[in-house]
Amino acid sequence: MSEESSVLSGEDPAYKPEFDISKPTIARIYDAILGGKDNFAADREGADAYMKYVPSSREVALDNRAGLSKGVRYMAEQGIDQFLDVGAGLPTMENTHEVAQAVNPNAKVVYVDNDPIVLAHGRALLATKESTTIVTADLREPESILNDAEVKRMIDFSRPVGLMVVGLFMHFHDDERPGDWVKTLLDACPSGSYLFMTDFADTGEPQQAAIEKAGLESLGNGWVRKPEKIKEHFHGLPLVEPGLDWVSRWFPGEPDREVPAAEDLEPHLRIMMAGIGYKE
């Protein structure tokens, strides 16, 4: 973290918050679970609810972050050099731009998050990078993302895009038709683009019910979904091998890689699934 960012830290008693810190937010609870410093008491209470119901919540979050790195690296290795990372979260380990730019130093990354704290805390981290930017916008209004001046400046929608909706979909109920929002973004991306998603899966196991309970208690959202339902949100795009799978078994583009049997994974590693769809 840069000096400016640490001045903004929620742990600094002199910090004058520019946000409503009385209510937890998804970004800050996730930060607290990951052991970050950009969170406040209400967020830490929210994180405690996760820990109460799912003591391995940090490992679940780290599992998701490992999946994020794998997915970004895969897309970058396929030649994707512009990424639209929706629901980006606060800067943490192996951020999208770091993974993508390790493969291709010229890769551009636009982070999108509806929580303004992401812009405030991310700006310091990204200040020196012209190829990386952060936009405050809401997936619920996908047109506002597409029409955002920064998005337009950075992303050339006539060329393939790596569209990312990672660790976000569980926060929307299907009654809200979140798939429609992603479809609007996907429709703006040309063939050769990818859609990368991770989500909480529901295969009927207790740890999955527990994480849903934690989310509903702390945030009022955070549902699990049947894998078939998660697949629907790829809108029929063929999935890159091995398809949709538990993150720790998921190595995109490496279908022959030896991975543990799903039933041998620890229960907390049977919460988060990942998949990448390819737009032909």
Ligand X SMILES: C[S@@+](CC[C@H](N)C(=O)[O-])C[C@H]1O[C@@H](n2cnc3c(N)ncnc32)[C@H](O)[C@@H]1O
138/241 with CB nearer ligand X = 138
166 part of the interface to ligand X, by CB under 6 A: yes
Looking at the Cβ atoms of 43 and 113, the one nearer to ligand X is: 113
Question: Which is nearest to 192 in space by CA: 80, 107, 276, 279?
Answer: 279
φ, ψ of residue 247 to 5 degrees: the values are -55, -45
68 contributes a contact to ligand X by CB under 6 A? yes
H-helix segments, 80-177: 96-103, 116-126, 142-146, 149-154
Binding string, residues 4-33; x marks residues near ligand X by CB under 6 A: ----------------------xx--x---
Cβ nearer to ligand X, comparing 47 with 112: 112
Contact 88, 134 (CB under 8 A): yes
CB of 31: closest distance to ligand X in angstroms? 8
245 binds ligand X (CB under 6 A): no
CB of 263 to ligand X, least distance (A): 26
For position 237 contacting ligand X by CB under 6 A, the verdict is no
Q: Which is nearer to ligand X, 9 or 92 (CB)?
A: 92
Minimum distance from CB of 88 to ligand X (Å)? 5
CB of 113 to ligand X, least distance (A): 5
Shortest Å, Cβ 172 to ligand X: 7
What is the 3-state secondary structure of 188-257?
HCCCCCEEEEEEEECCCCHHHHHHHHHHHHHCCCCCCECHHHHHHCCCCCCECCCCCEEHHHCCCCCCCC
Of 5, 114, 132, 218, the one binding ligand X by CB under 6 A: 114
Which of 93, 80, 140 minimizes the C-alpha distance to 113?
140
Question: Judged by CB, which is closer to ligand X: 219, or 261?
Answer: 219
Site for ligand X in 117-156 (CB under 6 A): 118, 138-140
Residue in the block written with tokens 């008491």:
41
d(Cα 83, Cα 80) in Å, to the nearest integer? 7
CA distance linking residue 88 with residue 157, whole number of Å: 20
> CB count, 10 Å around CB of 15?
14
Q: How far apart are CA 48 and CA 150, in angstroms?
A: 36
Q: List interacting residues with ligand X (CB under 6 A).
A: 26-27, 30, 64-65, 68, 86-89, 112-115, 118, 138-140, 166-168, 171
